[in-house]
């Protein structure tokens, strides 16, 4: 259960990063790069703490699959749910390839 707060912290960072990427007001502001840097450091720190807590390398691969899936789903769902983005057929194929690659390399 030590991982739940770290995953929640990472998820919070992914949501902020996704919002930063899709909100024109934030994207065009002078604070965009400093905020993106802070969000990136937050997510990287969260993963470093997860890697530190998980002692077994096999378990770390499984946890890494969950982490990567969480990140991909967050960056996929936030634009669709919050900003009305729609995927083209080619983009949908790309998403399918991403998840196929995750399963092949981590699963």
Q: pTM, whole model, 2 decimals? A: 0.80
> Would you list the domain boundaries of the chain?
3-106
Q: Which of 65, 20, 35, 34 is nearest to 47 (CA)?
A: 65
The predicted-structure confidence for 40-82, as pLDDT tens digits, reads as follows 898 899 999 999 999 898 899 889 888 988 888 898 899 889 8
Distance, CA of 93 to CA of 95 (rounded, Å): 5
pLDDT for 102: 83
Cα distances (angstroms) measured from residue 87 to each of 24, 51, 73, 83: 19, 33, 14, 12
Distance in Å from the first CA to the final CA of the chain = 22
């Amino acid at each position: 259960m030590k991982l739940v707060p770290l995953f929640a912290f990472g998820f919070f960072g992914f949501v902020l990063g996704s919002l930063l990427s899709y909100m024109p007001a934030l994207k065009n502001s002078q604070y965009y790069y400093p905020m993106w840097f802070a969000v990136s450091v937050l997510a990287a720190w969260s993963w470093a703490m997860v890697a530190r807590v998980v002692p077994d390398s096999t378990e770390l691969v499984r946890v890494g699959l969950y982490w990567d899936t969480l990140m991909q789903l967050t960056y996929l769902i936030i634009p669709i749910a919050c900003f009305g983005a729609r995927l083209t057929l080619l983009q949908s194929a790309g998403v399918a390839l991403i998840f196929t690659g995750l399963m092949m390399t981590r699963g």
